[in-house]
Structure 1
Amino acid sequence: MGDFNFSADDQENVDQFNKLPQWIDVWTSLMGSHNHGFTFDTETNLMIKSYCTKPERARYDRIILHSQTIIPVQINILGDQPVANEEQFQIFSSDHFGLTAVFQKKKID
C-alpha cells in the first residue's frame, strides 16, 4: 500500500503489475475501472499548480492486496478537501490524496 507513483498510462508500470497475477488493485476491484480515483489532481488540489505547470490527473497511489484470509469491502480517497484557506489559496495536507480501505476476514466454508 502506498505512494507508488504508478501511472496506468506508463506501459512499464502496467507490465510490472501484470507480473503479479494474484494481486488485486483494491480501487478497481471495488470501484470499477470507470471510476478513475485520481490521487493527484491539479483540478481539485489547486495548491500543486504552483509547481505543476500543466493540467494533470492520475491515480499514482494504490492499495494492492494478495491475501487468502481477508477481502476488501470499502475504499475511499482522503485528503481531497482543503484543510485551510489562506487569502484565495487552498491548503491541502499533501500534493497527493491518500487512500483508506476496510477489509474483512473471508468466511470459511
Structure 2
Amino acid sequence: MADAYLIAVASTRQRGTGRYAGRCWLAGTVAAAAAVTGPLAEDAHTEFTAHMAGHLLVGMIAPLLLVSAAPVSLALACSWRTEVVVMIAPRLRSACGG
C-alpha cells in the first residue's frame, strides 16, 4: 500500500506537496506497523505502558499522519477521468456540509 501511494505521489507533478505527503504517509504506516509488530507489540502483553503506547500510535498518531498525507486529494489529482471528478466534487461538498 505504501509503495502504491509513493508511486502516485511521484506521478503527480504537484510542487511542494509531494515530499511532505510522502513523508507523512510513510511515517503513518511506520507508526501503525510499530504498534502491531516488533518489540512494542510483544511488550504490550505484559506492560501497561507499552500497551498504551500502542494505543496512542494506532489510534492517534498514525491516523493524523495518514490524513495529513491527503490521500483523497492525491487520488483526485491522479485520476485521468476529469468527468468523474466533476460529477463527484459537488456531492462531496454537499455531503460535507459545504
TM-score by shorter chain over 0.5 = no
Pair member with larger Rg: 2
Q: Which structure: greater helix fraction?
A: 2
| Superposition TM-score, scaled by structure 2 size | 0.28
